[in-house]
Amino acid sequence: MKAKETRPVRQSWSQKDGNPGRIGIALGIALLATLGVGVLLTTLDTASGPGESEQRPAVAESAPSSAAMPAEIAEVPESAPEVSAETAVAEPVVEPATFDGGMGAYGKGEYARAAAMFAAWGAEHPESVWGPYMRGVSLRHAGDLAGAEAALVVALSIDPGHRKSLLNLSRVLLDAGRPDDAFASVRNALDINPESGEALRVFGLVRHAQGDRGGALAAFEAALDADSTDAWSWNNAGFLFIEEERFVQARSCLEEACSLDDTQPTFWNNLGVARERVHDYDGAAGAYARAVELDSAYEKAILSLARVEAIPDSPEAPRPVEMVEQVETAESEKADEPVADGDALRSANAENAEDPMEIVASETAQDR
């Protein structure tokens, strides 16, 4: 069967069955009750969330030259690699430690080198939260969760209200399998800004990790009320619908995610699963093919594509689905996965906060 893919059309989400629609005010109210917030979270969060840009506080003359800090890290295409005690230690800095130099290394994926440069820069600017913050983010991507936690704790000792540090600390704690500790950190972030779409998305990841699927779905709904263009929240909601075997609603959410950001292989893989479960095999093949096009080593999508392409053109053909991927363990970020199994949530980069859930029928969840 020849796989074809057309760009999905954004759809609203409001009904439980048939035409998927928005989850509804009731879930938002449930979330607000959980958070102790007295008003409905419906306004756009202009100070946080994917694509945000925060100004750095002024520092001494040798401060970094960049005009603004990139948005907090979210999910990454792959879970952070495991590292040994030796590799977890950042390599020594053999060049002048500048903030821009650290960002350059970070952007190249040289996370240990970036962490070392941010540590050196932070030592020269102890009053700035950005050194330990970016060191923590870099160490998380390098797979050193203990080091990342310690660095973010230092950042919060400098500025207890630094929202980025609170949210990334939540992600690190989720990565470490400590959702209750992550809950405390994300609650602090929501106390600072209860209408932050990114904070609500991370809160959803935490509730999911705690086993509260309803609370997670309500959190993603509230995140979308704050920012309806948050592709990762659409993906995560779709993932939860797949877990609940509400495949029509899952398909709608995941088509929305792909229409907002068609560069994420996780979105396309999950959409393939949702389409396959509603017997749209050509559509599923197209989605899996797009996931493989974006990531040629994406084994789950490769196996799923081969499976659906071998299906006879018959609605009675059996449908084994074994490849769904999950949510960011937060985020994780670097951003999330459970119904069938999944990959952890993943974090993309310092500029785009993402917390996805990936559905893969044969792996256990854990981003970004």
DSSP letter (8 states) at residue 55? P
The predicted model gives 312-320 an average pLDDT of 56
96 Cβ contact partners less than 8 Å away, ≥ 6 residues apart: none
Report the chain's terminal Cα–Cα distance, integer Å.
Answer: 33
State the Cα angle at 295 between 281 and 228, rounded to 5°: 75
Between 139 and 66, where is the model more confident?
Answer: 139
Backbone dihedral region for residue 76 (phi beyond 0: left; psi -120 to 50: alpha; all else: beta): beta
What's the full length of the chain, in residues?
Answer: 368
Q: What is the pLDDT of residues 37-94, one digit of tens each?
A: 333 222 223 233 333 333 333 332 233 433 333 333 333 333 333 333 444 445 555 5
How sure is the predictor about 315, in pLDDT bands with cuts at 50, 70 and 90? low
Does residue 361 carry a pLDDT above 60?
no
The most confident of 24-33, 75-84, 101-110, by mean pLDDT: 101-110
Q: What is the pLDDT of residue 92?
A: 53
- Mean pLDDT score across all residues of the chain: 73
Structure tokens at 187: 């609650």
Between 297 and 12, where is the model more confident?
Answer: 297
C-alpha span between 75 and 202 (Å, rounded): 11
Q: Tell me which of 91-100, 109-118, 171-180, 202-211 is least confident.
A: 91-100
Q: What is the pLDDT of residue 322?
A: 47
Q: Which residues pair with 124 in a beta bridge?
A: none
The predicted model gives 12-26 an average pLDDT of 43
C-alpha span between 52 and 47 (Å, rounded): 7
C-alpha span between 176 and 144 (Å, rounded): 10
Contacts of range 90-96, beta carbons closer than 8 Å, 24 or more positions apart: 90/115, 90/116, 90/119, 90/139, 90/142, 90/147, 91/116, 92/116, 93/117, 93/119, 93/120
Between 280 and 314, where is the model more confident?
Answer: 280
How sure is the predictor about 110, in pLDDT bands with cuts at 50, 70 and 90? very high
How sure is the predictor about 97, in pLDDT bands with cuts at 50, 70 and 90? confident
Q: What is the DSSP string of 4-42?
A: ---PPPP---BBSSSSB----HHHHHHHHHHHT--S---
Between 24 and 182, where is the model more confident?
Answer: 182
The predicted model gives 132-138 an average pLDDT of 97
Q: What is the pLDDT of residue 12?
A: 42
Does residue 343 carry a pLDDT above 80?
no
Q: By C-alpha distance, which of 208, 291, 174 is closest to 31?
A: 208
Percentage of residues of the chain with pLDDT beyond 70: 59
Q: Are 219 and 35 in contact (CB under 8 A)?
A: no
How sure is the predictor about 96, in pLDDT bands with cuts at 50, 70 and 90? confident
C-alpha span between 265 and 280 (Å, rounded): 19
Residue 346 identity (one-letter amino acid): R
C-alpha span between 44 and 48 (Å, rounded): 9
Q: What is the pLDDT of residue 324?
A: 54
Name residue, tokens 């980025």.
Answer: 164
The predicted model gives 226-240 an average pLDDT of 96
Q: What is the DSSP string of 132-152?
A: HHHHHHHHHHHT-HHHHHHHH
C-alpha span between 221 and 328 (Å, rounded): 17
Q: Are 249 and 18 in contact (CB under 8 A)?
A: no
Containing 53, the helix (H) or strand (E) segment is strand 53-54
